[in-house]
Chain A
Amino acid sequence: MLSIKDLKVDIEDKAILQGISLDIKPGEVHAIMGPNGSGKSTLANVLSGREEYEVTGGDVSFLGEDLLELEVDERAQAGIFMAFQYPVEIPGVTTATFLKSAVNAVREARGLEELKPVEMLRLIRQKADMLGIDHKFLQRSLNEGFSGGEKKRNEMLQMALLEPKLAILDETDSGLDIDALKIVSDAVNQLRQADRSFIVVTHYQRLLNYIVPDYVHVLYNGRIVKSGDKNLALELEEKGYDWIKEEVAAGIPSL
C-alpha cells in the first residue's frame, strides 16, 4: 500500500527527517511514537502533501504511484486522509456543505457520479449516527466554536465519509479527555478493514490501549530508531523515552 524509502525532509534548510523507511501493507495499523520534535508530525504532513516541507531525498510510493508527484487534492482523491491535530475553522461554511463538497469531489475523481442531495443527506446522517454525532452539528459552520472533542469527532466523520485507503491520524489524541478519546478510537476501530491502513501518530501510549496497532515505530531525531509490536508502546509508557535516547547515543543498532 505505502512504501517509504530513505525519505529525507527539510524545513527551511533544517533537516527534520533524515532517512525514513517504512512499509505498510493493506489493513495494517502502524503507530509512530517519539518525543516532541522528533519529526512525527512532519512525516504526517509530508505524506499528505503540505507545502512548506522540502523533500531532499528518498521515494514514497502509494498504491504503485509516486506519491510525491501528486498535488494535495490528488492525494486525497487517491485515498490518503489526514485527521488533523488542529482542524481549521471555516466560518460561514456549514459542516454539511463542506462534507457534501468533499464527498462529491472525491467521488468525481474516482469516476463515480455525484450523489443526489437526498442520497448525500442520507449518507451523512447514517455515518453521523454511526459515530454518535448529533445532526444539529451538521448545520454549524465547520469547526467554528467546536470543542476539541467535537473537532476530532468531525475529523472522524469526514474519514468515514471519504473512505480512505490510508488514514493518517496526526496526534488526534492531543487535548482529548478520556471520553472523547474513546469516541475517536471507536470510530477508528469501526473503520478498520482489510483494505484500509492507518498511521497513528501519537506522543502517548494511552490511545494505543484503544486502537491496538500491529506495529509501533519510535521516531527520534528524524530517524526510526526502534520498531516493535504493541508491547513496545507499553514499554515506552513505563520507561519513557530516555532509555531509547541513551541507546541511540551509545550506538546500539535498532531492531
Chain B
Amino acid sequence: MSDSMQTLEAHTRSDYKYGFTSDIDTETLPKGLNEDIVRAISAKKGEPEFLLEWRLKAFKYWQELVEPTWPNVDYPPIDYQDIIYYAAPKKKPKYESLDEVDPELLDTFNKLGIPLDEQKVLAGVAVDAVIDSVSVKTTFKEKLSELGIIFCSFSEAVKDHPELIKKYLGTVVPIQDNFFAALNSAVFSDGSFVYIPKGVRCPMELSTYFRINAANTGQFERTLIVAEEGSYVSYLEGCTAPMRDENQLHAAVVEIIALDDAEVKYSTVQNWYPGDKDGKGGIYNFVTKRGLCAGKNSKISWTQVETGSAITWKYPSCVLKGDNSVGEFYSVAVTNNKQQADTGTKMIHLGKNTRSTIVSKGISAGYSHNSYRGLVKIGKKAENAHNFSVCDSLLMGDKCGAHTFPYLEVDNNTAKVEHEATTSKIGEDQLFYCMQRGLSEEDAINMIVNGYCKEVFNELPMEFAVEAQKLLAITLEGSVG
C-alpha cells in the first residue's frame, strides 16, 4: 500500500463529531409491538377513529410480511419486540418564545450549530423541530398561515386538518407498499405536514430537524407534503444523532403530492450516527420516500446528501403520472469505515412527455460499501418519456466497494433513456497535482471531493450546501479535534 493510500485512510478515519446525548425527560411506552401498543400510541395522541383503524390495518398487514433481504447490506436480525415504539419529551405544552423552551434542548441545537434563534433571525427559515417524536417548537407559523400555508407537526395536522390527512395519507405510499412502510403506518409517532394552497409560492424554505434522542427508541416519522395547483415549496430535512452503542431503527415515510403545475423541492442532509470504526452502534435508516406528480406539468425534485447511518436503505422516488411532469433525483452518498448504503431512486413514467433526471454520486472510504440501485420504468402510455441518468462512484482507498444496480423497464418504444456510469479512484495524479501547487493533502482531498459533488450541491439551498460541504469534510477527513 502506498503512502498516500495510508494517508487517505488516516484522513477518513475520524470520529463522529455530533456524538453526544441530551438529557431531556421522556415519557415512553413499554418495549415491544402488539395491537395494544398501536392503540396506545393512537390514544396518547388523541387521534380520530379513522386513523386508529388505518394503523390497525397496517399493523395487521405488517404481521403477515417478512423483512426483505434483497438489498446489498448486511446486519444482524432486528428483534422488533425489543424496540420502544413511542417516546415523547415531557415538557409540554408549546411555547410562545424561545425563553420558555427547555434550555437543554436549546443547548442541543447549539451544539449542532443550528440555533433556532439564529435561524429565525438570519436565515429566515421556519423550523419545525422534532426531538424524538413530538414537535416542540414551530416558528414562522403565523407568517405562513397568512398565505394559507399549513406547516405543522403531523399530530397537529391530525387534530386541526383531519380532512386533509384523511384525503392524502397513504395515497403515495400505501400501507401495503413494503415491510417498513407498513410498520411505520402502524406506529408512526409524529412528523411534519405541509400544505401549500393553490397558486401560492411558499416564500421561505421549510425545514425540519430530526433527532433521535431516547435510547432504544425506534423513530417512525411520517411526513406528508401536499402542493396544490400552481404552488411551490422547498422543504429541507436535516439530522444528526447522538452516539449510541445499540443500533437504532429508523423507518420513516415521506409522501409528496404535486397537483397541476405544482413544484416541490425536497432536500435532505442526513448525518446520523454511523457506528464506530468497527461498525458498532449506529442508525439503521430504512426509509420510504416517494413523490407523486399527480397533475400535469408538476415537478418533484429530491436532493440528498447522505453521510451518516450504519446502514442506509432508501430510494426517494417519483411517480410521474401527470402529462409533462418532471422528476429529479440528485444524491451524494458517502460511506466510511464499516458503513453500508444501498440507495438510489425510482422514476416511474406514466404520463406523456414526462422527464426525469438522476444524478447519483457515491463516495466510498474505509471498509464501507456503497450501492446505487435505481429503476427507470416507462409505462405503456408514457409517450415520449425521457430519462437521463448519471451514476458516478468515487473510491477512497482500496478496501471499500462501490456497486451499481440499474434497472430498466421500458414498455413504450418512443421513450428515450440514457444512462452513464463511471467508477474512479480519487486519483493519486489529482492529489499530486494539487499538492504540487502547495495545497495540503487534506485540502486537496476536500477540493477534489467537493468538485465531484458539485452538481448535487448546486441543487441544495445555499445554507444547506454550506452545511453539506462541512459534513463531507468532517466525514472524510481528520478535521475533528
Verify if A146 is at the interface (C-beta below 8 Å from B).
no
Task: Return the contact of A88 from the options B3, B427, B438 (Cβ within 8 A).
Answer: B427
Contact A90 B448 (CB under 8 A): yes
Given A76-B436, A76-B437, verify A93-B428 contact (CB < 8 Å). no
Verify if B69 is at the interface (C-beta below 8 Å from A).
no
Contact B440 A105 (CB under 8 A): yes
Verify if B433 is at the interface (C-beta below 8 Å from A).
yes
Contact A77 B454 (CB under 8 A): no
Q: In the complex, A28→B39 CA distance in Å? A: 87
Verify if A66 is at the interface (C-beta below 8 Å from B).
no
**In the complex, which residues 80-98 of chain A have their Cβ closer than 8 Å to any Cβ of chain B?**
81-82, 84, 87-88, 90-93, 97-98
Residues of A within 8 A of B47 (CB): none
Contact A92 B452 (CB under 8 A): yes
Contact B439 A50 (CB under 8 A): no
Residues of B within 8 A of A102 (CB): 434, 437-439
**In the complex, which residues 49-72 of chain A have their Cβ closer than 8 Å to any Cβ of chain B?**
49-52, 71-72
Verify if B202 is at the interface (C-beta below 8 Å from A).
no
Residues of A within 8 A of B427 (CB): 88
Residues of A within 8 A of B453 (CB): 92
> Which residue on A lies nearest to B447, using beta carbons?
A93
Report how many A-B pairs have Cβ atoms within 8 Å: 79
Count chain A CB atoms within 10 A of each CB in B432, B434, B437 and give the residue with the most: B437
Residues of A within 8 A of B441 (CB): 73
Contact A73 B2 (CB under 8 A): no
Task: Return the contact of A90 from the options B2, B438, B440, B451 (Cβ within 8 A).
Answer: B451
Task: Return the contact of B439 from the options A48, A84, A91, A101 (Cβ within 8 A).
Answer: A101
Verify if B455 is at the interface (C-beta below 8 Å from A).
yes
Task: Return the contact of B432 from the options A72, A158, A162 (Cβ within 8 A).
Answer: A72
**In the complex, which residues 153-210 of chain A have their Cβ closer than 8 Å to any Cβ of chain B?**
158, 162
> Which residue on B lies nearest to A75, using beta carbons?
B436
Residues of B within 8 A of A84 (CB): 433, 436
Task: Tally chain B residues at the interface, Cβ within 8 Å.
Answer: 26
Distance from A145 Cβ to chain B, minimum over Cβ atoms (Å): 14
Contact A162 B437 (CB under 8 A): yes
Residues of A within 8 A of B434 (CB): 90, 98, 102
Given A88-B427, A90-B448, A92-B453, verify A82-B436 contact (CB < 8 Å). yes
Q: In the complex, A75→B437 CA distance in Å? A: 9
Given A73-B435, A76-B437, verify A88-B443 contact (CB < 8 Å). no
> Which residue on A lies nearest to B3, using beta carbons?
A51
Contact B437 A91 (CB under 8 A): no
Contact B443 A101 (CB under 8 A): yes
Contact A73 B3 (CB under 8 A): no
Residues of B within 8 A of A91 (CB): 451-452, 454
Q: In the complex, A162→B447 CA distance in Å? A: 18
Distance from B443 Cβ to chain A, minimum over Cβ atoms (Å): 7
Q: In the complex, A205→B113 CA distance in Å? A: 60
Contact B436 A49 (CB under 8 A): yes
Q: In the complex, A93→B428 CA distance in Å? A: 17
> Which residue on A lies nearest to B457, using beta carbons?
A92
Verify if A141 is at the interface (C-beta below 8 Å from B).
yes
Contact A71 B435 (CB under 8 A): yes
Residues of B within 8 A of A92 (CB): 450-455
Residues of B within 8 A of A17 (CB): none
Contact A51 B2 (CB under 8 A): yes
- Chain B positions near chain A (C-beta within 8 angstroms): 2-4, 427-430, 432-441, 443, 447-448, 450-455
Selected A-B contacts with CB under 8 Å, 13 pairs: A48-B436, A51-B2, A51-B3, A71-B435, A72-B432, A88-B427, A92-B455, A101-B443, A101-B447, A105-B438, A109-B438, A141-B451, A158-B437
Going nearest first, the 4 A-B pairs with the smallest beta carbon separation are: A92-B451, A92-B454, A93-B451, A102-B437
